[in-house]
Amino acid sequence: MVDEPMEEGEADSCHDEGVVKEIPITHHVKEGYEKADPAQFELLKVLGQGSFGKVFLVRKKTGPDAGQLYAMKVLKKASLKVRDRVRTKMERDILVEVNHPFIVKLHYAFQTEGKLYLILDFLRGGDVFTRLSKEVLFTEEDVKFYLAELALALDHLHQLGIVYRDLKPENILLDEIGHIKLTDFGLSKESVDQEKKAYSFCGTVEYMAPEVVNRRGHSQSADWWSYGVLMFEMLTGTLPFQGKDRNETMNMILKAKLGMPQFLSAEAQSLLRMLFKRNPANRLGSEGVEEIKRHLFFANIDWDKLYKREVQPPFKPASGKPDDTFCFDPEFTAKTPKDSPGLPASANAHQLFKGFSFVATSIAEEYKITPITSANVLPIVQINGNAAQFGEVYELKEDIGVGSYSVCKRCIHATTNMEFAVKIIDKSKRDPSEEIEILMRYGQHPNIITLKDVLMQQGYDAACDIWSLGVLFYTMLAGYTPFANGPNDTPEEILLRIGNGKFSLSGGNWDNISDGAKDLLSHMLHMDPHQRYTAEQILKHSWITHRDQLPNDQPKRNDVSHVVKGAMVATYSALTHKTFQPVLEPVAASSLAQRRSMKKRTSTGL
């Protein structure tokens, strides 16, 4: 069995900033076997159904594996939005790359004019969610077995640079013996290592890590938080963080104190506490799976035997005929299996399904912003799928326009000398995926600008933290804030001062402040984030290393502390201030449309 396609509007959301590009792919064929097509598979039963397609139980009719049962995932191209096409391709890429005893295996992938087909393992045991629903909760020994196999599966993905991002009971399947198989890689992210972060709001809310919820960037450590949620749910039958709605649930994930059930063993409670660290760097597993394996909760697990599937599972699904499906929802299995040809994809989709199957490279990686003129410039991802360094392809010229979230510059192609406009977007402030989708879809129209390249840039993370630290440093030394005079300053005024990068280091307390402190502060508040000091450079600065030589004079205190506090609040409010966004109403609601409608009715009446 394999996951059913995601429903539109489902809680499993992913506001993903990954770049859309053409999918130049070829058929994936099981090694040593012939190229597959739909006619080679006999439809037996429906295992699942979603808005984009179905999952069938099928039997191979020809070839060396004739008679073999598979799960066939069928997706309708015309029903897939651009983002969903990208996720489908990502899932295929990962499934081709991965080969692990506890991860579902892809055997074939092919397409017709209107549909995509993935042929995967058929897992007769259904999913862990179904078993959990029937039994409410598991014993600690059951949970220990499932979590141990799952830890090995996650570690394999992490070693390949993949963040899974959608761990939940529904995505953990059981084979006929009772071993797990991880499935559904549509929300997974490739090519994310310990030094890079993803910034998508991705997964099922109740299982999201705090760093995913607050969108400050997440890495593989986010999977270990979800692992903890899964453990808690299997042991108690309830979710650790669940409010009356999505917003309350997210707030609980960020702030709520977890009540630990006392009926759990000390080892289980200890593991949960170490997994539920809101700081991902302190979370168990952040340094690798060996941290998990060494925990006392897994003390009696033989990891080598477990990997070889030599450990007896605690539960064996009911057995019968090989094609029995009583572990699946009868709502689907009772349906007559039919696979219609499917409507051809729309004209705008052909570029995303050119050829078919898999490319080993990822769709796009998520990078932090780097200076465009630097040798360490971040790669651009082009629609034709070729990655290149921006400085190698284009020469950057003057600004054409500047907006709240982006800047548009003129640039010249190094080879052709053709002029283009490059739009550089700060993704921490705005999600450009919808704009990209529109340009991809309608870019060939003569009156719509063509999308040539997409340069995705992200927030300055660490540099922003250093700047904020500099503001605090300045305020403690001076007795007032560098960019705000008081709580009544408007965001526009504060942002203008910040943009000018001017602040005073003379007069008042500054006459008694050392040159070393001023030098350090100037580097912390530098306008260019790439010239701003890092935390390591701060710690190595002479003002820090020779602090025993600093004067002991107390700077004068400001008696109006509420003014300073208000100015500080105003500064940080200005940084998060959002400009007004107009609300688009239906066309029929406009006064012009209403007037036209009235005229039309009058004319008809006559």
The catalytic residue positions are 166, 168, 171
- Rounded Cα gap, residues 300 and 257, in angstroms: 30
Report yes or no: 152 and 103 within 8 Å, Cβ to Cβ: no
HSE (side-chain half, CA atoms, 13 Å) at 231:
32
Query: In whole angstroms, what is the distance from residue 266 CA to residue 287 CA?
Result: 23
The span from the CA of 76 to the CA of 51, in Å, is 9
Q: Going by DSSP bridges, is the β-strand pair 456-457/419-426 parallel, antiparallel, or unpaired?
A: parallel
What whole-number distance in Å separates Cα of residue 483 and Cα of residue 477?
A: 14
State how far the Cα of 290 lies from the Cα of 28, in Å rounded to an integer.
Answer: 34
> For residues 312 and 142, what is the distance between their CA atoms, to the nearest angstrom?
11
DSSP bridge partners of 70: 58, 121
Q: Output the CA torsion 541→546→547→551 (10° steps).
A: -120
Tell the burial category of 247 from Cβ atoms under 10 Å away from its Cβ (0-12, 13-18, 19+): exposed
- Show binding-site residues for ATP: 47-55, 73, 400-408, 423
Q: How far is C-alpha 271 from the geometric centre of its chain's CA atoms?
A: 25
Measured between alpha carbons, how far is 312 from 145 in angstroms, rounded to an integer? 9
**Strand-pair category, 115-121 with 172-174:** unpaired
470, 528 in Cβ contact below 8 A?
no
Q: Parallel, antiparallel, or unpaired: how do β-strands 201-203 and 13-15 relate? A: antiparallel
CB 209 within 8 A of CB 221: yes
Scan for tokens 């669940």, then name that residue.
242
Could you tell me which of 2, 267, 285, 316 has the C-alpha nearest to residue 151? 285
Nearest to 37 by CA among 110, 115, 86: 110
Order of all β-strands in the sheet with 394-402: 394-402, 406-413, 419-426, 456-457
Cα angle: 341, vertex 345, 348; to 5 degrees: 175
Radius of gyration of the chain (CA): 28
Q: What are phi and psi of 52, to 5 degrees?
A: -100, -10
516: its two tokens: 């070393």
Non-local CB neighbours of 585 within 8 Å, separated by 6+ positions: none
For the chain, what percentages of helix, strand and coil (3-state, to nearest 5) are there? 35, 15, 45
Find the largest Cα–Cα distance for the chain: 95
Distance CA 56, CA 71 (A): 6
Query: How many Å separate Cα 46 from the centre of its chain?
Result: 30
